[in-house]
Amino acid sequence: MLKTIRQVPDEADRKYLRDWARAEFKRNKNATDQDAIRMMVTQANNHLTDLQRSLALSGS
C-alpha cells in the first residue's frame, strides 16, 4: 500500500493516504480474530486495487 501511495502525484494526497494507511495498521495491530483479519486484508486489497486503478487512469 505504501509503495503504491508513493506514486500519487499530489503531496497533500500522498500525506493523507500515508497517514490513513498507517493509522489503519496501528488501529488493527492487536486483532486476533481470524475472520476479522481476513476481512481487513480483503478490504485493504480492494483499497489497493482502487488506488492502482485511479493512478493508471490519471496516467501517474
Q: For the chain, how many structural domains are there in total?
A: 1
- Tell me the pLDDT tens digit for each residue of 2-51: 999 999 999 999 999 999 999 999 999 999 999 999 999 999 999 999 99
Q: According to the model, what pLDDT value does residue 42 have?
A: 96
Q: According to the model, what pLDDT value does residue 60 have?
A: 63
In a domain, 11, yes or no: no
Cβ atoms of 37 and 31 within 8 Å: the answer is yes
In a domain, 6, yes or no: no
In a domain, 26, yes or no: no
How far apart, in whole angstroms, are the C-alpha atoms of residue 35 and residue 53?
27
How far apart, in whole angstroms, are the C-alpha atoms of residue 44 and residue 12?
21
Domain span at 39 = 35-60
Q: According to the model, what pLDDT value does residue 34 have?
A: 96
Cβ atoms of 48 and 1 within 8 Å: the answer is yes
In a domain, 40, yes or no: yes
Burial class, 4, CB count within 10 angstroms (exposed 0-12 / middle 13-18 / buried 19+) = middle
Query: Would you say residue 59 has pLDDT above 90?
Result: no
